[in-house]
Amino acid sequence: MEYTERLKNLWKCAGSTLDRENLTSIKIDSEKKVAVASDGRLIAVIDVTDLLEPEEKSFLIPAPAIKAAQQLLVTERARFRSKADKKKARPVFIRSSEFSVTVFVGQSHRGVSFDLPTGQFPQWEVVVTKLEGYKFGITLDASLLIRLTDALHNGIVRHQGVSLFVKDEASPIIVGVESDSKYFALLSPMRVQQNQPTPFWIPEV
């Protein structure tokens, strides 16, 4: 499959514990044509239909292979100065075999090989089911949620939790800290369509 920075960004959702290689890797599911990352607490799934090669089998990309592929991509692009010329850079590929994964540039098929991770990848299909039984969906600006978490936890965002209290699709969402009810914030759902009304609690201009 072809490596792109989409996989690097997805890898941010993978685990970082060195003794659990299966969680520090990215799962390539060729049947569903998706890439999956999980640290045991969250799961992220992206479409990689355009990156897969015909008849490619499912496999795990180990963390060292992801780092190597990203470095090769950066090095290859560095050969060209202008943004337009960077499009001439050769693509980076990751190819799996029975016991290893190889990272290479262009069509050389010769590159750096890495052992496949040990252990089984989480059964993400069991958790990620069809959106049945959910009453409605809310679209949030994730950057705003991070800012609110930062404010409620005095600048300590890492590994801090907040509770979301949702009434319906249009009402403001209450973001609270369970340990102290005096600390809370309001977050307005994003208006996906421009013609949606302004939230009732914001004054009209």
Sheet holding 2-3, edge to edge: 2-3, 92-96, 100-105, 112-115
Residue 202 backbone phi and psi in degrees, to 5 = -105, 125
Q: Which amino acid is at 117?
A: P
- The full 3-state SS of 90-150, as one line of letters, equals CCEEEEECCCEEEEEECCCCCCEEEECCCCCCCCHHHHCCCCCCCCCCCCCCHHHHHHHHH
The model's pTM is 0.74
Sheet holding 59-61, edge to edge: 43-47, 34-38, 26-29, 59-61
pLDDT digits (tens, 9 = 90+) for 151-162: 777 766 566 677
Residue 11 · residue 23 · CB < 8 Å:
no
Residue 28 · residue 70 · CB < 8 Å:
no
pLDDT digits (tens, 9 = 90+) for 50-87: 999 988 999 999 989 999 999 999 999 898 888 888 88
